[in-house]
Amino acid sequence: MSKPNAIQLTGVSKTFDGFKALADADFTAKWGEVHALLGENGAGKSSLMNIVAGLYGPEGGSLFIDDNPVKLRGPKEAAKLGIGMVHQHFKLVAPFTVAENILLNLGHIQTSGLYRERLRRVSEDIRTMVDRIGFNIDPDTPIHRLSIAEQQRVEILKVLLAGAKVLILDEPTAVLTEEEAESLLTTVQGFAREGAAVILVTHKMNDVLRYADQVTIMRGGRTVTSLRPDSVSVDELVRLTVGESTTHTDQPSAERTPGEPYLRVSDLTSTAGRRALNGLDLTLNRGEIYGIAGVGGNGQSELANALMGIPEPVQGDMEIIGGGDLAELDAAQRRALGIASIPADRYGSALAGPLSIADNFALGDIHSGRYGPFWYLKTRAIEADATKAVHQFDVQGVRSLKQKAALLSGGNAQKLVIAREFSRPPRLVFAHSPSRGLDVKATEAVRERLRAARNDGAAVLLISEDLDEVMAMADRIGVMSAGRIVAEFSRPADRQAIGQAMVNHV
């Protein structure tokens, strides 16, 4: 039971731009164990592990390795102490071979000899390691010819060959298929059995239950508890991860009778890469908000892209009842049908930052000829409409309509997007994380707009990784997992049940 401590963190805090990412977090991982670090997006898991890997300096608290206090000055020092981290985003040089990439990373290990000789030795080391742990990687293959799962294995080989005894894997299964994830986790479990310490950062309950010896749960930058996964029920684990309901079930919206179906999506499947969307079915009714909940990376972005007309390789039907195929519509036709899109990346996909507020507003209606023919823009008409919209939608911080849209704060930029999208009464609204990064007041304003659209009979689809938001807004909730809607709930929905559906699949 009492294996020696490998890594111990006590009372660690870290702040980014005033945002407290970690507050008094404690964590202990022992040699010979797979230790899962479980929590929702933004719980602080990655920040905590980046401190262990020497990428961030903690503001308070201490780090112990083998029960000795250490101060890390950078990732190289962490590597020397045998700590290796595999990041979510791989750090590999694509045109180089596996061996060259690994050789690059061995800078701190002094090896002598000519370059060819060193490369040959590294290749040999790779072959030996690959045979031992059962990876199928050829050291002479260039990285760009490897699949994502293989590239991840190269990252693991990289830290192992650099002498890592403590292996930190940040969301390793997020990019893998189920079989790939299984094989990877079995392998890392093997490392732990041989005495290494493995830390598995994850938000997948299944990974924890099947592979972890110990689990530490984080929520809101704090470590909630640390326990053995087999000592508690799944319900308890979910409750600890999701937290007690903080939702004010403020919905006075009585029993709503949903209208007729307006959008029918059937068997939507990604045609490229891993199957981000995998046979998704969904029906959206008039006069209702359909909320899509789910852990990030389960196909939400791909679904949003497909629906909003952002290029996305999918097949399947997206039929607007009485309006034809959604995928066939061009931007002007989408406008004419009253389709409003609020993408997640408001500065990237919704607004043209360097253009003025008035220009950004006018973009929505420019096809219709409302602002003049192609060779002449009626600036007065644009400004008149923009002024009205800015007032009506309460876009603050507008000193002049000629001001660049990029200068607006997040909340006001979002209000500008909504002002444009709702400038004609919308009949179908797609909103992806519409309140991400907004303060309480702006969030409420955005939500009020969506509710108003719903009350006027629009069909609203709300995709959000924030369960609280979905709970507060939606009349019906679909839980998305592995590219499909795996469960549907009607109001009043049980938060625990939704949480469980979110994490139980995959």
Residues making contact with another protein (CB under 8 A)? 16, 75-76, 87, 89, 91-96, 100-101, 103-105, 107-108, 115-116, 118
**Does residue 231 come out as left (phi exceeding 0), alpha (psi in the -120 to 50 range) or beta?**
alpha
17 or 255: whose CB is closer to another protein? 17
CA–CA gap between residue 341 and residue 284 (Å, rounded): 15
Minimum distance from residue 213 beta carbon to another protein (Å): 29
Q: Cβ(400)–Cβ(379) under 8 Å?
A: no
39 or 229: whose CB is closer to another protein? 39
Residue entry with tokens 């991860």: 241
Where is 214: in which H helix or E strand?
A: strand 214-219
Other Cβ atoms less than 10 A from the Cβ of 96: the count is: 15
84 or 483: whose CB is closer to another protein? 84
108 or 388: whose CB is closer to another protein? 108
CA–CA gap between residue 365 and residue 363 (Å, rounded): 6
Q: Roughly what angle, to the nearest 10 degrees, separates helices 178-193 and 115-133?
A: 100
Minimum distance from residue 202 beta carbon to another protein (Å): 18
76 or 388: whose CB is closer to another protein? 76
Q: Cβ(89)–Cβ(105) under 8 Å?
A: no
101 or 223: whose CB is closer to another protein? 101
Minimum distance from residue 55 beta carbon to another protein (Å): 9
Minimum distance from residue 485 beta carbon to another protein (Å): 30
CA distance from start to end of the chain: 29
Where is 460: in which H helix or E strand?
A: strand 459-463
85 or 215: whose CB is closer to another protein? 85
Q: How far is CA 171 from the centre of its chain?
A: 11
Q: What are the DSSP calls for 217-240, one per residue? A: EEETTEEEEEE-GGGS-HHHHHHH
Minimum distance from residue 43 beta carbon to another protein (Å): 16
Question: What's the alpha-carbon Rg for the chain, to the nearest Å?
Answer: 26
Q: What are the DSSP calls for 51-78, one per residue? A: HHTTSS--SEEEEEETTEEE---SHHHH
Minimum distance from residue 361 beta carbon to another protein (Å): 31
Question: Which residues make beta-bridge pairs with 7?
Answer: 29, 65
Minimum distance from residue 93 beta carbon to another protein (Å): 5
115 or 375: whose CB is closer to another protein? 115
Other Cβ atoms less than 10 A from the Cβ of 95: the count is: 8
11 or 107: whose CB is closer to another protein? 107
And the tokens for 246?
Answer: 């903080």
Minimum distance from residue 114 beta carbon to another protein (Å): 8
Minimum distance from residue 105 beta carbon to another protein (Å): 4
Q: What are the DSSP calls for 143-166, one per residue? A: GGGS-HHHHHHHHHHHHHHTT-SE
